[in-house]
Structure 1
Amino acid sequence: MKRSLRRALWAGAVVAVTVAAVPVTTAFGAGTVTTTFTRAQDWGTGHETRVTVTNGSSAAISTWRIEFDLPSGTTISSAWDADVTSSGNHYVAVKKSWAGGIAPGASFSWGYNGTGAFKAPLNCTINGAACGGGTPPPTTTPPTTTPPTTTPPTTPPPTTPPPTTPPPNTGGKKVVGYFAEWGVYGRNYHVKNIQTSGSAAKLTHILYAFGNTTGGRCSIGDSYADYEKAYTAADSVDGVADTWDQPLRGSFNQLRKLKQMNPHLKVIWSFGGWTWSGGFTQAAQNPAAFAESCYNLVEDPRWADVFDGIDVDWEYPNACGLTCDTSGPNAFKNVISALRSKFGSSALVTAAITADGSNGGKIDATDYAGAIGNLNWLMPMTYDYFGAFAAQGPTAPHSPLTSYTGIPQQGFNSDAAIQKLKSKGVPANKLLLGIGFYGRGWTGVTQAAPGGSATGAAPGTYEAGIEDYKVLKNTCPATGTIAGTAYAKCGSNWWSYDTPSTINGKMTYANNQGLGGAFFWELSGDTSNGELIGAIKGGLG
Structure 2
Amino acid sequence: MRSPRKRWLVAAAAALLALPTTLTAAPAAAAPSDVTVVYTEGDRWNTGYSGQFTIANASSAPLTDWTIEFTLPAGASVTSLWNATMRRSGSTYVLTPPSWGAPVPAGGSYGIGFNGAFSGGETAPVTCTINGAPCAGGAGEDDTTPPSAPSGLRATDVTSTSVTLSWNAAQDNVGVAGYEVLQGGEVVRSTVGTATTATVGGLSPDTEYSYSVRAYDAAGNRSAASTPITTRTGEQGGGPGPAAEVRVGYFTQWGIYGRDYLVQDMDRSGTAEKLTHINYAFANVSADGQCFQANQAGVGDAYADYGRSFGAADSVDGVGDTWDQALRGNFNQLRELKEKHPHLKVNISIGGWTWSRHLSDAALTDASRERVVRSCIDMYLRGNLPVIDGAGGPGSAYGIFDGIDLDWEWPGSEGHEHNTVRPEDKENFTALVQEFRDQLDALEAETGRTFELTSFMPADPEKIDAGYEVAEIMPNFDFVTVQGYDFHGGWDSATGHQSNLRLAEGDPGPRLFSSEIAVDAWIERGAKAEDLVLGVPFYGRGWRGVSAGPAGDGMFQPASGPAPGTYEAGIEDWKKLKNLQGYELYRDDAAGAAWLYNGDTLWTYDDETSMAQKADWAQERGLGGVMVWSVDGDDAQGSLMAALDQALDN
Q: What TM-score does the superposition give when structure 2 sets the normalisation length? A: 0.64
Q: Which runs of 5+ in 2 are unaligned?
A: 19-37, 60-65, 130-237, 294-299, 384-392, 445-449
Q: Equivalents in 2 of 1:249, 1:209: separation in Å?
A: 17
Structure 1 residues 122 and 261: CA distance shift in structure 2, 3 A: farther
Task: Note if 1:396 corresponds to 2:496.
Answer: yes
Partner residue in 1 for 2:531: 430
SS at match of 1:234: helix
Q: Equivalents in 1 of 2:486, 2:513: separation in Å?
A: 9
SS at match of 1:201: helix
Partner residue in 1 for 2:421: 325
**Which structure has the larger Rg?**
2
Q: Deviations over 1:215-245 (max 9, x none)?
A: 3222234111111111111111222111122
Q: Which runs of 5+ in 1 are unaligned?
A: 1-15, 130-166
Task: Note if 1:409 corresponds to 2:510.
Answer: yes
What are the within-5 Å matches in structure 2 for residues 165-314 of structure 1?
169-171=240-242, 173-214=245-286, 215-220=288-293, 221-284=300-363, 285=365, 286-299=368-381, 300=383, 301-304=393-396, 305-314=399-408
Which residue identity lines up with residue 570 of structure 2 in the other structure? G
Partner residue in 2 for 1:510: 618
Q: Equivalents in 1 of 2:16, 2:592: separation in Å?
A: 35
Task: Note if 1:420 corresponds to 2:501.
Answer: no
What are the within-5 Å matches in structure 2 for residues 436-451 of structure 1?
436-447=537-548, 448-451=553-556
Q: Equivalents in 2 of 1:400, 1:75: separation in Å?
A: 33
Task: Note if 1:356 corresponds to 2:464.
Answer: no
Partner residue in 1 for 2:634: 526
What are the within-5 Å matches in structure 2 for residues 87-236 of structure 1?
97=98, 110=113, 112=115, 119-120=119-120, 126-127=126-127, 169-171=240-242, 173-214=245-286, 215-220=288-293, 221-236=300-315
Percent identity between matched residues is 34
Q: Equivalents in 2 of 1:91, 1:377: separation in Å?
A: 45
The answer as to whether partners of 2:412 and 2:463 remain within 8 angstroms in 1 is: no
Which stretch shows the higher mean deviation, 406-415 or 417-426? 406-415
Q: Deviations over 1:436-490 (max 9, x none)?
A: 1111111122234322222211111111111111111221645323432112222
The answer as to whether partners of 1:395 and 1:442 remain within 8 angstroms in 2 is: yes
- Which of 554, 559, 571 aligns to 1:466? It is 571
* Larger RCO (CA under 8 A, 6+ residues apart): 1
Alignment coverage as a number of residue pairs? 468
Structure 1 residues 184 and 53: CA distance shift in structure 2, 3 A: closer
Q: Equivalents in 1 of 2:486, 2:464: separation in Å?
A: 14
SS at match of 2:627: strand
Which residue identity lines up with residue 470 of structure 1 in the other structure? K
What are the within-5 Å matches in structure 2 for residues 328-343 of structure 1?
328-343=425-440
The answer as to whether partners of 2:82 and 2:639 remain within 8 angstroms in 1 is: no
Deviation at residue 381 of structure 1 after TM alignment: 1.3
Q: Equivalents in 2 of 1:396, 1:516: separation in Å?
A: 28
Q: Equivalents in 2 of 1:75, 1:402: separation in Å?
A: 35
The answer as to whether partners of 1:252 and 1:303 remain within 8 angstroms in 2 is: no
Q: Equivalents in 2 of 1:365, 1:458: separation in Å?
A: 32
Q: Equivalents in 2 of 1:336, 1:513: separation in Å?
A: 26
Deviation at residue 210 of structure 1 after TM alignment: 0.5
Which stretch shows the higher mean deviation, 242-251 or 421-430? 242-251
Q: Deviations over 1:14-42 (max 9, x none)?
A: xx97159xx999989975777758543x5
Partner residue in 1 for 2:585: 479
The answer as to whether partners of 1:99 and 1:500 remain within 8 angstroms in 2 is: no
SS at match of 1:120: coil
Which residue identity lines up with residue 529 of structure 1 in the other structure? Q
